Structure 1
Amino acid sequence: MSHGKQFTIYMHYMAPNSWKVIFALNILGLTYEPSFLAFDDVKNPEHVRLNPNGRVPTLIDHKNGDFVVWESDAILLYLIDTYDPGHRLSVVDPKEKANLNQWLMFQASGQGPYFGQSTWFSHFHPEKLPSAIVRYQVEARRILGVLESVLSKQDYLVGGKLTVADIAFVPWNNIIRRVIGDEFDFQKEFPSTFAWHVKVADVDGVKKGLEERLKLIAEEEKKVQA
């Protein structure tokens, strides 16, 4: 079976983890076809055959034997290991590689789960559980505090340059008020992290992805209103 694009990415337009992969594909100049799944469809048998965890994103590399990778930060590592010879989003030094992996693990084990649980209990859980909301909002602030402690001393997380470690944090930080609350002042509470976020979000491939996300949200809102 021939494919016009190199990659197919199964994703949901509202799922933050999907967009970090889009950012990397854009920056690396790789062609892809998004396949949007409804949240109810991520567990369908066709998708689970590709991704046994039944979550998004899932990436298929058609030019590498239809190789399948899932878990968003694992996808980022695959992309830079395989398609970033010029190190646009990666580093060369072994110690810096370890630091890059460290930040990706922190994003995957810290930011994603805590921000996600805060969003769930604040907006989607069928009953209000104030203790859960407070717990995860406190943890979200703690994650931002870790970033602030580093970014107050340097411009990027690794190697003095933009890497996948930086772009991995953008999708969740981009919806931070939904995570912590409308009263949250990102710039005031974590000024260095805010400045870094704005800078990374303005990178062409990231900006393009964020604009596409907003476009898709607007289209879905029109469907609901119709």
Structure 2
Amino acid sequence: MSHGEQFTLYTHVGGPNGWKVAYLLAELRLTYESVFFDFAKKDQKSPEFLKLNPNGRIPAIIDHGNNDFVLWESNAILLYIVEKYDKEHKFSAVTDADKAYQNQWLFFQASGQGPYFGQFFWFQFYHQEKVPSAVERYKGETERVLGVLESVLSKQEWLVAGKMTISDISFISWNNGAFKAILGDDYPIAEKYPAVYKWHNAMTERPAIKACIEQRTSMMSH
């Protein structure tokens, strides 16, 4: 293998979706090199990257340990990594039923949490015109998604199989953003969604994930 690290991860310092892949790679102690794109320079739209990901978005990976296999879409990457490298099922489901539930939550994260939280963030901070109705809508959807999670996590510690899996990991990055930047420092997350708050903190206090979060915080401060 000509590369020093097993994986190349194309990502972005502020973009949540790349970090969820970093969390899993770190937890599984798989070595990787992060290539951080500058969105202002449209690195993600370069001809070189579009050959890897025609969608021109992050993240994407190259698995140098598997004939330079290329994959994009963050939750598809999570599934690929556990199917190929989590043989002990430390972070993945085992039974057919639990695998189905795992997919259910990965799809909910990709179709529910990511888009709604992202649109809330966009209309709150980046849209050129103030559109109060859009902010209100996506804040409501953000709270609805948190409510769905709360309804389940108030009855069980983890989403699937009684342990932390990629289903849980997939939610960390956007929740980090929602709890602070999107909803605001004075939003009563712990009071409104205590089970979600406890679940989130249980994951972000894990050494491997905590180190990734600290790396991101340090890079963003610079």
Indicate which of 205, 210, 214 corresponds to 1:207: 210
1:63-212 superposed matches below 5 A = 63-176=65-178, 177-212=180-215
Residue 54 of structure 1 corresponds to: 56
Superposed CA RMSD: 1.0
Partner deviation per Cα, 1:157-213 (whole Å, 9 max, x = no partner)? 001101011111011111113223343111011011111001011112211111110
Q: How far 1:107 sits from its partner (Å)?
A: 0.3
- C-alpha distance in 2, partners of 1:181/1:205? 26
Conserved 8 A contact 1:110-1:143: yes
Partner deviation per Cα, 1:20-49 (whole Å, 9 max, x = no partner)? 000000001100000111112111111111
Conserved 8 A contact 1:140-1:180: no
- C-alpha distance in 2, partners of 1:53/1:156? 32
Give the match's secondary structure for 2:71: strand
Conserved 8 A contact 1:26-1:206: yes
Q: How many residues align?
A: 219
Conserved 8 A contact 1:118-1:180: no
- C-alpha distance in 1, partners of 2:191/2:31? 38
Give the match's secondary structure for 1:174: helix
- C-alpha distance in 1, partners of 2:184/2:120? 10
Residue 21 of structure 1 corresponds to: 21
- C-alpha distance in 2, partners of 1:85/1:121? 42
- C-alpha distance in 2, partners of 1:183/1:218? 21
Greater displacement, 167-176 / 179-188: 179-188
Letter in 2 for 1:192: A
Runs of 4+ in 1 over 6 A off after TM superposition: none
- C-alpha distance in 1, partners of 2:68/2:215? 26
Greater displacement, 172-181 / 119-128: 172-181
Greater displacement, 203-212 / 6-15: 203-212
- C-alpha distance in 1, partners of 2:38/2:123? 21
Gaps of at least 5 residues in structure 1 are 220-226
Letter in 2 for 1:188: E
- C-alpha distance in 2, partners of 1:41/1:79? 25
